[in-house]
Amino acid sequence: MISQLAQTHPLHLTVVTDNLKLHKEWIAPTLPSSRYIAWNPRTFDSLLRQQHIVLIPAQSNEYTACKTDNRVVTALRAGLAVVADTVPSYAPYDGTIMLGNMEEGLRQYLTNPARRAADASRGQAMVISADSTERVLSQWLDLLNCA
């Protein structure tokens, strides 16, 4: 998907995860203009601010059926456009993110920067008005056992 879009659009994919093997085996061979960065809570926010669009892939299974909306909320809070696979907790953001068909969603945002900016702005306003930032912080602190 991304490798085909890279033929017509200048793309650079930054993969932030804790799985270097995934990047080496699946992403790097198909998209040479990509880089792997190990997820780090100290550098993540500054790295996120350097991006334009956040891709959140997810396979439909029991685990993702229970996932929270933290990834979407984090990206929208940073003012970024989001393209995501369908996860139940992401449904309330439909209309402010491209949800479902990731290839088409990414294509829409690449070819229509005005829509990308408008969706990101609406999504950011949505998470700010819902006080989601404090909720995300609280959940991270609980997870890291810092509360």
What is the DSSP annotation of 16-44? EES-HHHIIIIITTT-SSEEEEE--TTTH
Residue 133 has a pLDDT of 60
Within a domain: 52: yes
Residue 147 has a pLDDT of 46
Domain CATH number, residue 68: 3.40.50.2000
The Cα 103–Cα 9 span in angstroms is 13
DSSP percent split of the chain into helix, strand, coil, nearest 5:
50, 15, 35
Within a domain: 29: no
Q: Helices H, strands E: what count in the chain?
A: 8, 5
**Averaged pLDDT, 69-89:** 94
Model confidence at 78, pLDDT cuts 50, 70, 90, reads very high
Which range (73-77, 98-102, 132-136) has the least confidence? 132-136
Q: How many residues does the chain have?
A: 147
Tens of pLDDT, residue by residue over 96-133, are 999 999 999 999 999 999 999 999 999 999 998 876 56
Within a domain: 98: yes
Residue 99 is part of which domain span? 40-143
Residue 111 has a pLDDT of 94
Within a domain: 12: no
Within a domain: 125: yes
Give me the number of domains the chain comprises.
Answer: 1
Within a domain: 106: yes
Cβ neighbours for 144, distance < 8 A, ≥ 6 positions apart = 41
Within a domain: 3: no
Q: Look at residues 22, 31, 77 and name the one whose alpha carbon lies nearest to residue 54.
A: 77
Cβ neighbours for 101, distance < 8 A, ≥ 6 positions apart = none
Tens of pLDDT, residue by residue over 35-72, are 999 999 999 999 999 999 999 999 888 888 888 999 99
